[in-house]
Amino acid sequence: MKIYNKYIAAIALSLVLASCKAPMATVIKDEVKENVPQNFNQDDQADANNNTGTTPWRQFFTDPNLVALIETSLKNNQELMITLQEIEIAKSNVLAKKGRLTPTVGAGGGAGITKVGRYTSEGAGDASTDIEPGKAVPDPIMNFGGGLTANWEIDIWKKLRTEKESAVAHYLSTVEGKNFVLSNLIEEVADNYYELLALDNQLDIIQQYIKLQQKALEISKIQKEAAAATELAVKKFEAELAKSKATEYTLRQEITEKENEINALCGRYPQPIIRTKENFMTTIPQTVYTGIPSQLLANRPDIKQAELELKSSKLDVEAARKEFYPTLEISATLGLEAFKPSYLVKLPESMAASLAGELAGPLINKSAIKANFQAADAKQIQALYEYDKTILNAYLDVANLMSKIKNLDHYYELKSQETKSLEQSIDIANQLFRNSRADYLEVLLNQRDALDAKMELVEAKQKQLSTVVDIYKSLGGGWK
């Protein structure tokens, strides 16, 4: 019999050891992070001490009206509020994982009735047992009880700790996600604000152009009466004037929509946007210092978020791997139990207690555990690709925008020269038209070219200012 028991113990131990075999996770290597270039462009000299991305947004933006809009959006924006709730959800998950490391204790009470057969071992035993002299166990038997129960999974493989660490990493990633939402929100408010100022200036230009065309129309009518021009010239000027007035209403609608876009970002109903448009064309974009590319890893919230998600996914793989190992659970109860309520207070006779430990591991049909492990391993690889993509896109964003701001500077300078020349040509063409030395087509073409050039100059200024904001966000600015 002893030999038989030894065989049973040996077989059980072998089965437990067999159940401990777990597959290995895929070893991943982050080559993109290791190979980040030293500079954003080959012609640029990196300076780690100058990085615009570390500047707080209140110092970066100097327009008080824009600052007020950003402050309002940070208080009321719905997307930001949703993100804050995601942080609370992740925080609760951390507390839930932490709670699994400690015993679960409960309290309860109950009552029941049992009727056993007379000719059974239990029934015969109850019938022959006297609780007190002359008092046998009643039939049927009532049962009253109450007490404490405790269950505790001993974290022998640190699986529960690993799950908690994964939840913490995910919680921290949601915090960085909130910071990225902040950065994007500030960029959107600033970009829309500059677009609104550009539309205001374009509206002023078209209104000035309408006055100019009205004068040209009056001159063409006078010349027609003097037989110096034809009805065709009058109709052409009338058509051009109607076209400009139609453009004015288009701009007014675009201004209304842009104002409401800003109001939506601020989480409020439509209302006028306070702004000063007069200094828009003389505003000089701020000088941007990019620092070195490796600083993006610390400055950009989306990169830090992806890095923390990668860390969380690695821990998830480790936790899924430990599911192949046996688990040790301890359960205990302590309370009072009797078939009559008055007996519950008789101690220690009514006291009941139990203590049990269980070591169990998966042995047959591990397909579910294997599937969970393979899914976690795939998510780990997916998180790495997402992290690498985020780093690469961040680098390309800054490199493209720095190139864009340089080209926009040259573009704006040439457009300014073009606008000045065309404004002078309008005066010359109008003078020649008054003296019948130029026809109406020359006047119209000069006016159209000058209008287009002025409109494009305003757009260039808006792009200059917006590109600086975009670079600021791409360097990791805006959330501090």
Report the domain count for the chain.
2
Residues 190 and 288 in one domain: yes
CB 265 within 8 A of CB 189: yes
Residues 118 and 75 in one domain: no
- Cα–Cα distance between 279 and 293 in angstroms, integer? 34
Residues 301 and 349 in one domain: no
H or E element, residue 152: strand 141-154
Residues 133 and 271 in one domain: no
CA dihedral 417, 421, 423, 429 (to 10 degrees): -170
Residues 352 and 380 in one domain: no
Tens-digit pLDDT profile for residues 349-375:
888 899 998 888 777 668 888 999 999
Residue listed under structure tokens 């400009």? 244
Average pLDDT, the chain: 87
Residue with the bigger pLDDT between 151 and 427: it is 151
Residue with the bigger pLDDT between 444 and 281: it is 281
Tens-digit pLDDT profile for residues 397-421:
999 999 999 999 999 999 999 999 9
Tens-digit pLDDT profile for residues 107-159:
988 888 877 777 777 766 666 666 666 566 676 778 888 889 999 989 889 99
Tens-digit pLDDT profile for residues 292-303:
898 999 999 999
Binning pLDDT at 50, 70 and 90, where does residue 14 land? very low
Binning pLDDT at 50, 70 and 90, where does residue 10 land? very low
Binning pLDDT at 50, 70 and 90, where does residue 42 land? low
Q: Is the pLDDT of residue 259 over 90?
A: yes
Judge whether 180 lies within some domain: yes
Q: Is the pLDDT of residue 319 over 50?
A: yes
Residues 271 and 350 in one domain: no
Exposure string of 54-76, with b = 16+ CB inside 10 Å and e = fewer, is ebebeebbebeebbebbebbbee
CATH number, domain of 211, equals 1.20.1600.10
Domain holding 345, by residue range, is 103-154+327-360
Tens-digit pLDDT profile for residues 172-211:
999 999 999 999 999 999 999 999 999 999 999 999 999 9
Residues 89 and 161 in one domain: yes
Question: What's the predicted TM-score (pTM) here?
Answer: 0.85
Judge whether 11 lies within some domain: no
Cβ neighbour number for residue 8 with a 10 Å cutoff: 10
Judge whether 10 lies within some domain: no
